[in-house]
Amino acid sequence: MTSAVNTPPGELTGRAALVTGASRGIGLAIAHSLVGRGARTVITARRAEGLEEAAAALGGPDHAVPVPGNASDPAHREAAVRTAIDRFGGLDMLVANVGINPVYGPLMDTDLGAVEKIMNTNVVATLGLIQQAWHAWMAEHGGSILVVASTAGLRAAEGIAAYGVSKAALINLTTQLAVELGPAVRVNAIAPAVVKTRFAEVLYEGREEEVARRYPAGRLGRPEDAGEAAAYLLGPGAGWVTGQVLVLDGGGLARGPV
């Protein structure tokens, strides 16, 4: 569970969101930040049980509606978008947070089938979701989109190179879509470094203090760090911000290699 943060009450009242990969970690933290500002949110993930628990933690059906399914399934993406429109009257904010990384190691030893799976889930399915949201609602009514990328997409990422390549593609996708979908829709991304989630455990487990020393801020990221950044980029305060990638890394890129 994410820790409490101070949020501007009512800032997103009356707005509807769809957050993918939101049963835990960064996705759930983003949903918490949006709901805390008054938004109503459809959340997705593969496993129904964990998603139901997340929806309950967000306040139940008046605030969050779960739609379990596989992000790579076009029917699931359509159902998620349609649920937001039918239950909440629209789709003002879309968060593309689904990401997988089933392999660890150098690219020269990485199975190409695994690379294809990573690209299909992380990139192709994200584009498919955005297409669905655009055609079903945002082209006519406008909105804002947030893509969850990674600092692995900004520089070489030893051990998770295939994942990094997919995140680099998402960063480019963000800038491409900001141009294509403007002015009706703003498109931005966040690029977190190591955040304390189950997904990222392999990157810090058993050596958290050592990893944290890489960052001038002196700690690893927390899910709520991403949640608050996402809420800003999606909300009215970022009305003149589009095509941007907000790096969330505790100053790691500023320091450079250590």
Question: Which residue from 138, 124, 156, 111 is spatially nearest to 234, judged by alpha carbons?
Answer: 138
DSSP 4: P
Question: Among the options 163, 204, 215, 232, which is catalytic?
Answer: 163
Domain locations in the chain?
Answer: 16-247
Active site residue 163: yes
Tokens of 41: 């949110």
Residue pLDDT tens, the chain, 258 long: 444 445 556 799 999 999 999 999 999 999 999 999 999 999 999 999 999 999 999 999 999 999 999 999 999 999 999 999 999 999 999 999 999 999 999 999 999 999 999 999 999 999 999 999 999 999 999 999 999 999 999 999 888 999 999 999 999 999 999 999 999 999 999 999 988 877 766 666 778 788 888 889 999 989 999 999 999 999 999 999 999 999 999 999 888 765
**Cα 193–chain centre separation:** 13
The class level of CATH for 16-247 reads alpha beta
CA dist., res. 245 & res. 76, Å (int): 27
CA dist., res. 169 & res. 163, Å (int): 10
- DSSP, collapsed to helix, strand or coil, labels residue 65 as strand
Q: Is this structure's pTM higher than 0.85?
A: yes
